[in-house]
Amino acid sequence: MIVEQQYIELFSQTEAMICKHSAEVLNAPRAAAFADFERIGFPTRKMEKYKYTDVSKYFEPDFGLNLNRLPIPVNPYEVFKCDVPNMSTALYFVVNDAFYNKALPKVHLPEGVIFGSLKEVAEQHPDLVKKYYGKLADTSKDGVTAFNTTFAQDGVIFYVPKNVIVEKPVQLVNILRADVNFMVNRRVLIILEDGAQARLLICDHAMDNVNFLATQVIEVFAGENTVFDMYELEETHTSTVRISNLYVKQEANSNVLLNGMTLHNGTTRNTTEVLLAGEGAEINLCGMAIADKNQHVDNHTSIDHAVPNCTSNELFKYVLDDQSVGAFAGLVLVRPDAQHTNSQQTNRNLCATRDARMYTQPQLEIYADDVKCSHGATVGQLDENALFYMRSRGIDEKEARLLLMFAFVNEVIDTIRMDVLKDRLHLLVEKRFRGELNRCQGCAICK
């Protein structure tokens, strides 16, 4: 527990300050989370769930934390401009781990919809936040979740009341901004009541070339007959470490699409846990990673079919170049009562060099007998026959390789249910393969 000790001492010394700058509802589970963190500590590669990423070592350096909530001198609405034709979004910002409320978009969300600071909404509507906050993110089972719950002071809440449809997509841009090596602990709470519909795009960016460590915990509650799309786009830099835990609970006949895309990063560890708790629920879980240099991308997913007649579709693709490392571990659990489950899991990976490494571990646990389930994984290199065919038609080798890699990941992009965003990502991925997207330059999705 050597790495953990500095944070145990820090919390013991600053607990009053942390609580002072947060809300009572967020403070309520803090002591229990801290006790869990003291007991289990950070994950290490000795744990099966984290065997491909040694999370613990990334917490060893001395990072700055803004526990006193000092204002950060940046106006994101002046720094980031969104001018994609036909892509009109309600644009919000989180600077490090605080919701930016000094200016807000001039949009009118439907009556009753809340999008704002988790801290402020917890003070204004404590019963609403208390009902959901921390109910999916179990601090007793994961050290990062326990750590985040211990130190998180603010975040974002997205609440959509019963039968309300949010037509305009909501865009949340997370900005990392600091002059010294810095840690942030972000929290996101998403609640869709029965019959609600919404779409959320989350973009991660880093403004400064210092070492950043970001922990993030997202909880999504999808009520009966809801439709929810969430797209995450990471485009930071090679000195950024992102550790994100996403927890989703779906009720009957809900339809959720999750698509996480890593275009540029340093080290990324994403955990996604989905509970299908109501009959007729459907989850489409997709992901894509493009990595080169010494970048590291690790996705660990779990889909729990707890009731009958649910559907899950999972698709992850990686393109790895240079000495980059990718990892994917996906578990689909079909419980004894979950008859008539329909589940498909696919992981396809492309290593463009001999030094790139990919680790894949698809898993199926089936305890029901009337189900339709499949899973598969492949790791390979570019198709030499296709490459030869394209070169014989006058396409030079570099361009042919780019075209083949672009076609490989295209399937994941095509799962997006927003045409303008889909078109923009086609362009961004092409630029990434050409080396033109080699660092964060503002919100590239919006330029």
pLDDT for 80: 65
Contact 186, 214 (CB under 8 A): yes
Residue 106 has pLDDT above 60, yes or no: yes
Beta bridge partners of 117: 156
447 in a domain, yes or no?
A: no
Q: Specify the number of domains making up the chain.
A: 1
443 in a domain, yes or no?
A: no
Percent of the chain surpassing pLDDT 70: 94
Question: Band of the pLDDT at 278, cuts 50, 70, 90?
Answer: very high
Residue 86 has pLDDT above 70, yes or no: no
Q: String of b and e for 169-186 (b: at least 16 CB within 10 Å)?
A: bbbbbbbbbbeeebbbbb
User: How does the average pLDDT of the chain come out, rounded?
Assistant: 91
Of 43, 59, 79, give the one whose Cα is nearest residue 175. 79
DSSP-derived letter for residue 307 is S
pLDDT digits (tens, 9 = 90+) for 170-201: 999 999 999 999 999 999 999 999 999 999 99
439 in a domain, yes or no?
A: no
pLDDT for 87: 62
179: alpha, beta or left? (left if phi > 0; alpha if psi -120 to 50): alpha
Contact 341, 333 (CB under 8 A): no
Distance, in Å, from the CA atom of 271 to the CA atom of 80, rounded to the nearest integer, reads 29
> What is the arithmetic mean of pLDDT over 39-67?
94
* Alpha-carbon distance values, 285 to 123, 253, 255, 411 (Å): 33, 16, 11, 13
CB under 8 A, 24+ apart: contacts of 378-387 = 378/347, 378/348, 378/349, 379/349, 379/351, 380/349, 380/350, 380/351, 381/350, 381/351, 381/352, 382/350, 382/352
441 in a domain, yes or no?
A: no
What Rg value do the Cα atoms of the chain yield, rounded? 21
pLDDT for 84: 41
Residues 6+ apart with CB under 8 A from 115: 90, 92, 109, 156, 157, 158, 159, 170
Q: Is 321 helix (H, G, I), strand (E, B) or coil?
A: coil
70 in a domain, yes or no?
A: yes
Residues 268, 311, 418, 414: is their CA dihedral positive or negative?
positive
Contact 64, 181 (CB under 8 A): yes
Residue 395 has pLDDT above 90, yes or no: no
Distance, in Å, from the CA atom of 118 to the CA atom of 339, rounded to the nearest integer, reads 38
Distance, in Å, from the CA atom of 206 to the CA atom of 432, rounded to the nearest integer, reads 17
194 in a domain, yes or no?
A: yes
Residue 399 has pLDDT above 90, yes or no: no
Percent of the chain surpassing pLDDT 90: 77
pLDDT digits (tens, 9 = 90+) for 56-85: 999 999 999 999 998 887 778 777 654 344
pLDDT for 222: 98
pLDDT for 389: 64
81 in a domain, yes or no?
A: yes
400 in a domain, yes or no?
A: yes
What range does the domain containing 39 cover? Answer: 3-434
pLDDT for 216: 98
Distance, in Å, from the CA atom of 305 to the CA atom of 282, rounded to the nearest integer, reads 10
Tally of CB atoms within 10 A around 108: 9
pLDDT digits (tens, 9 = 90+) for 404-447: 888 889 999 999 999 889 988 988 898 888 877 654 444 544 44
- With both helix axes pointing from N to C terminus, report the angle between 384-392 and 397-413 in degrees, rounded to the nearest 10: 120
**pTM score of the predicted model:** 0.94
pLDDT for 85: 42
Query: SS3 sequence, 147-172?
Result: HHHHHCCCCEEEEECCCCECCCCEEE
> What is the arithmetic mean of pLDDT over 357-363?
95
